[in-house]
């Protein structure tokens, strides 16, 4: 299980613009990684729109945000456009990054295999995990207050 104090697992994924994004792209910055089960579902939409609506809070705390799901880049592009999300959505279609972050359901609803668990990670400018929350219940959202408090302590 991923815990604070550990080095964040490396990744390179395609975003909704079909460009590669890597953990190393954020070296020297705070990075919030949000894993979410599926685009266009109700709780995922609420979660990512909450981040969108408070984006200035995260920017003021020197944080970049990426959100990762197993959806294809094409689905994520449509979701990003429809919800006007101001951060990258990354496709973990092969499920490798979700697994590396211990954020993968073996079986999700409707017997779907290998769907990202809703989770939140805060990685500091040196690549160390400062906050980790992995939720087994996809109907819940991460504790954004605790995430922001941890982020504020890094400032």
Could you tell me which residues come within 8 angstroms of residue 105 by beta carbon, excluding any fewer than 6 positions away?
Answer: 37, 112, 114, 115, 116, 117, 138
Q: Compute the chain's Rg from CA coordinates.
A: 14
Predicted confidence (pLDDT) per residue in 54-69, tens digit: 999 999 999 999 999 9
pTM of the predicted structure, to 2 decimals: 0.95
Task: Identify the active-site residue in 34, 44, 76, 132.
Answer: 44
pLDDT at 50: 95
Residue 112 pLDDT level (bands cut at 50, 70, 90): confident
44 an active-site residue? yes
- pLDDT per residue over 127-149, tens digit each? 999 999 999 998 999 999 999 99
Query: What separation in angstroms does the CA of 98 have from each of 2, 37, 41, 63?
Result: 11, 10, 18, 21
| All domains in the chain, ordered by first residue | 12-154 (3.40.30.10)
């Amino acid at each position: 299980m991923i815990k604070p104090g550990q080095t964040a697992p490396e990744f390179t994924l395609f975003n909704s613009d079909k460009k590669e994004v890597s953990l190393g792209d954020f070296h020297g910055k705070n990075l919030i990684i949000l894993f979410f089960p599926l685009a266009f579902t109700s709780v995922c939409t609420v979660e990512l729109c909450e981040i969108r609506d408070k984006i200035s809070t995260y920017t003021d705390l020197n944080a970049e945000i990426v959100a990762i799901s197993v959806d294809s880049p094409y689905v994520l592009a449509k979701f990003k456009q429809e919800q006007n999300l101001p951060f990258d959505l990354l496709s973990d279609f092969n499920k490798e990054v979700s697994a590396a972050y211990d954020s993968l359901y073996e079986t999700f609803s409707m017997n779907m295999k290998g769907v990202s668990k809703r989770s939140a990670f805060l990685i500091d400018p040196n690549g160390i995990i400062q906050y980790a929350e992995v939720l087994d219940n996809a109907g819940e959202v991460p504790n954004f207050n605790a995430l922001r408090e941890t982020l504020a302590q890094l400032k």
